[in-house]
Amino acid sequence: MAMARWRTDFARTEKSDGSPVCEVDLDVDRMLHARLNALLADAGWLSEETADSADRLAASRVWVVDPIDGTRDYIRGRAGWCVSVALVEDGRVVIALLDAPARGEVWRAVAGGGATLNGAVLRAGGRCEITGARVPADALPKVDRDLVAVEKPNSIALRMAMVAADRADLVATMRWGNEWDIAAAALVAEEAGASVTDALGAPLAFNKPDPHAFGVLTSTRGIHAAAVARLAGRARAVIR
């Protein structure tokens, strides 16, 4: 549905926080809500494009959805976007799907059952030294010039998935983010053997009353502690 309208003319605007939204976001959101509700009528719903309801907190299972993650790339006609769907059970992601049709990629994960990309089993890389780590970035700050910049899709979910596929070693954000941006990708990365925490190294939880977390840090297991140590001061400065 999103692919059919990519690179066509559609309505677009900005939300109050300055982030972009287009009519395709809203149409895909409505379609997914109807289809997924038909699969699990008792599941709650948390989506970027649906007004949040406290009713989800009473549900043991909740769909956490971003109908188009990477809307800026979608609007610009670039391929760095995907549809992100996660099923959360008692605060943990148990099923995840990232569908990136413009890239010909479908990422899947099941808790305890591994992760795949187009059916091929995923294994995160084994890097143990942070120097030389591959980071999806347009440009690196001077303090991080010992890292290596690689392709950066607008979708944070796809950047996290790059660690799962050994296309990157480290992805970090230093700002408040939303559960729907990272829920599915977190399970994909974890099931591929990567480490995923918030920006300060704390475990992630989902379907919280306030569905936000400060940053996300996804990396190979061997450099995660070093990444937390490198970024902790910056993260605390942003929080202050």
- For residue 227, what is the domain's CATH number? 3.40.190.80
Helix, strand, coil share (%) of the chain residues, nearest 5: 35, 30, 35
160 Cβ contact list (under 8 Å, min separation 6): 171, 182, 185, 186, 188, 189, 196, 216, 218
Same domain, 102 and 156: no
CA distance 217 to 238: 15
pLDDT of the chain, 240 residues: tens digit per residue: 999 999 999 999 888 777 889 999 999 999 999 999 999 999 999 999 988 989 999 999 999 999 999 999 999 999 999 999 999 999 999 999 999 999 999 999 999 999 999 999 999 999 999 999 999 999 999 999 999 999 999 999 999 999 999 999 999 999 889 999 999 999 999 999 999 999 999 999 999 999 998 899 999 999 999 999 999 999 999 988
- Three-state secondary structure call for residue 106: strand
Domain count, the chain: 2
The residue out of 121, 156, 174 marking a domain boundary is 121
Beta bridge partners of 61: 89
The residue out of 89, 121, 153 marking a domain boundary is 121
* Residue 230, in any domain of the structure: yes
Residue ranges making up the domain that contains 105: 2-121
* Residue 163, in any domain of the structure: yes
